[in-house]
Amino acid sequence: MRTEDRKAALNAYKERTVEGGIYAVRCVASGEVWVGGAPDLSKIQNRLWFTLRQGTNTHRSLQSTWNAHGAEAFSFEIVERLDAEEIGYVRDRVMRERLIQWAEQLRAVRI
């Protein structure tokens, strides 16, 4: 890779907008739902699926359901995107509040 291309790619990565929000993981085989919040929604599914495939996910109910039904039984969806303009601690508080609301609304386990 040329130096100019590498610098352009690095600058593009630094300038990208990071979207935080609430996501849901569903198992169609069991009907179970888990909800979580992430400061960067673009990366959370990869991280979850990796830990689940490795058998190292810290949420026991999610991991055991994954082990029982396999990856094909699961889906991932973003249920709410949060305003990126808010200050970090405000965004964290809003994310916690919205996570509680989504867990109640979807009758889901918070992760």
Q: For 90-102, what is each residue's pLDDT tens digit?
A: 888 889 999 999 9
Q: CA–CA separation, 62 vs 64, rounded Å?
A: 6
**How much of the chain exceeds pLDDT 70, in percent?**
91
- 26 touches 32 (CB < 8 A): yes
Structure tokens given for 2: 């040329």
- 67 touches 48 (CB < 8 A): no
The CATH code belonging to domain 20-110 is 3.40.1440.10
Neighbours of 73 (CB within 10 A): 15
- Model confidence at 18: pLDDT above 70: yes
Residue 82 pLDDT? 87
Q: CA–CA separation, 80 vs 68, rounded Å?
A: 28
- 36 touches 110 (CB < 8 A): yes
- Model confidence at 11: pLDDT above 90: no
Q: Enumerate the domain spans of the chain.
A: 20-110
Residue 13 pLDDT? 66
Residue 92 pLDDT? 85
